[in-house]
């Protein structure tokens, strides 16, 4: 029941594949809402996982920053409206990979040529090292595929992105939730979020509150609220605090409803 997806699979192919849609709906939804139809038709799974960030200071050839070997982060004193709300690293730009967030929730492994498979989280670490790169894959290594385990009994999932306009927009906050239910009891929970930290985040505190308990509206709200303990907003990212909590609650409610 496991699934292996080649790194050159496009986002459009991933979103439309019957096996992905049936067994990993959170991943299919994430792939199908990323970017624009044109980009989804050309952009690949591997490219999405290893893409560069969107910081306009980093992308400006006339501005120096940590990621270009400089000694500072101009975004910290400049415009960081889209910056992180969690984490204390020297670079404050969130990681841009939508699929990394979804794959974290699916406990996926990545295949790197010449190495043993590793959990997708190992591509990014805890974020402390990501001030001069957007991932930890060495320049002489090639990501070749992603492996997903078999779905769990009673599993359902949801993905949601909170955005500032209806189409073709980067997410301000995004989240994926996988819940396995036996009746109304949550037997397994896996929740991940993006757009809030230097790396995609697995929300273990949310999972702990959910696992082994009945999926009531009150429980889902209490679980989502635990992400507030992660939040240390910058001067311009305070709005992401409640947006983070509410986006997580949205995917929990959708997943629990099936």
Give residue 87's pLDDT. Answer: 86
CA distance 84 to 114: 34
pLDDT digits (tens, 9 = 90+) for 42-100: 999 999 999 999 999 999 999 999 988 898 999 999 999 999 999 888 899 999 999 99
What is residue 128's predicted lDDT score, i.e. its pLDDT? 67
55-85 burial code (b ≥16 CB/10 A, e <16)? bebbeeeeeebbbeeeeebbbeeeebebbbb
Give Cα 135 to chain centroid, integer Å: 13
d(CA 217, CA 253): 8
Contact 241, 228 (CB under 8 A): yes
> Residue 251: which domain range?
1-258
Number of DSSP helices (H) and strands (E) in the chain, helices first: 11, 8
Could you say which residues of the chain have pLDDT below 70?
Answer: 128-131
What is the reported pLDDT for 143?
Answer: 98
Dist CA 90 CA 133 (whole Å):
12
Pairing between β-strand 155-162 and β-strand 143-148 as defined by DSSP bridges: unpaired
Cα–Cα dist 244/177, whole Å: 13
- Give the pLDDT confidence score for residue 167 in this predicted structure: 74
Q: What is the pLDDT of residue 168?
A: 75
Whichever domain contains 104, its CATH number is: 3.30.390.50
Q: How far, in Å, CA of 186 to CA of 226, rounded?
A: 17
Q: What's the domain count of the chain?
A: 1
What is the reported pLDDT for 129? 64
Confidence (pLDDT) at 18: 97
């Amino acid at each position: 029941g496991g699934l292996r997806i080649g790194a050159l699979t496009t986002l459009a192919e991933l979103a439309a594949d019957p096996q992905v849609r049936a067994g990993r709906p959170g991943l299919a939804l994430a792939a199908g809402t990323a970017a624009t139809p044109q980009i989804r038709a050309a952009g690949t799974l591997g490219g999405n996982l290893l893409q560069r960030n969107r910081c306009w200071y980093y992308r400006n050839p006339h501005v120096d920053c940590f990621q270009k070997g400089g000694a500072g982060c101009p975004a910290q004193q400049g415009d960081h409206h889209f910056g992180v709300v969690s984490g204390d690293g020297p670079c404050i730009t969130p990681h841009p990979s939508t699929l990394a967030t979804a794959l974290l929730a699916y406990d996926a492994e990545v295949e790197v040529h010449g190495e043993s498979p590793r959990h997708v989280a190992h591509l990014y670490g805890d974020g402390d090292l990501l001030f001069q790169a957007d991932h930890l894959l060495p320049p002489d290594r090639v990501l070749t595929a992603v492996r997903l385990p078999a779905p769990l009994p009673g599993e359902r999932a949801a993905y949601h992105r909170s955005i500032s306009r209806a189409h073709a927009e980067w997410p301000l906050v995004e989240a994926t939730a996988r819940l396995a239910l036996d009746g109304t009891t949550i037997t397994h929970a896996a929740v991940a979020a993006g757009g809030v930290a230097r790396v995609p985040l697995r929300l273990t505190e949310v999972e702990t509150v959910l696992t082994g308990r009945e999926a009531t509206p009150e429980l889902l709200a209490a679980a989502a609220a635990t992400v507030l303990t992660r939040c240390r907003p910058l001067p311009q990212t305070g709005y992401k605090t409640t947006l983070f909590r509410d986006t997580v609650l949205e995917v929990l409610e959708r997943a629990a409803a099936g």
